């Protein structure tokens, strides 16, 4: 069983930085592919960034160059460093995991989800 718990969300101003964390309860964390998704009000949940067990990464266009995904396998923790935040980054951010070696940008390909953490960016 895999359990995920996000933290680190909050209210910030445009241009600020924020780091999200996702604590993962799993015996095989290092083999999981992990991702961050986000869902803004009245919009579909969308892929933000992903990282494989071998540290390959992928980013969506709107966050590339501003966000960095990373993982600490010794701590069973996933991170999302978000810099130069914009109001359009406002959303609930979800951590997701799947027991396959490759990253997917499709939400249906992730089997495990956290409850989400709210990020609000004011202009």
Banded model confidence at residue 110, pLDDT cuts 50, 70, 90: very high
Task: State the pLDDT at residue 1.
Answer: 85
Task: State the pLDDT at residue 69.
Answer: 98
**pLDDT digits 0-9 by tens, 1-26:** 899 999 999 999 999 999 999 999 99
Task: State the pLDDT at residue 91.
Answer: 98
- The b/e string for 21-46 (b: 16+ C-beta within 10 A; e otherwise) is bbebebeebeebbbbbbbeeeeeebe
**pLDDT digits 0-9 by tens, 43-101:** 999 999 999 999 999 999 999 999 999 999 999 999 999 999 999 999 999 999 999 98
Query: Mean pLDDT, to the nearest integer, of 95-122?
Result: 96
């Amino acid at each position: 069983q895999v359990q995920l718990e996000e933290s680190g969300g909050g209210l910030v101003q445009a241009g600020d930085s924020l780091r999200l964390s996702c604590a993962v309860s799993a015996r095989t964390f290092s083999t999981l592919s992990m991702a961050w998704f986000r869902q803004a009000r009245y919009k579909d949940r969308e892929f933000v960034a992903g990282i494989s067990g071998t540290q390959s990464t992928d980013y969506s266009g709107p966050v590339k160059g501003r966000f960095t995904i990373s993982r600490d396998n010794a701590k069973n923790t996933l991170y999302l460093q978000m810099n130069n935040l914009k109001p359009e980054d406002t959303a609930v951010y979800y951590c997701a995991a799947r027991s396959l070696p490759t990253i997917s940008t499709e939400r249906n390909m992730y089997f495990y989800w956290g409850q989400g953490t709210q990020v609000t960016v004011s202009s």
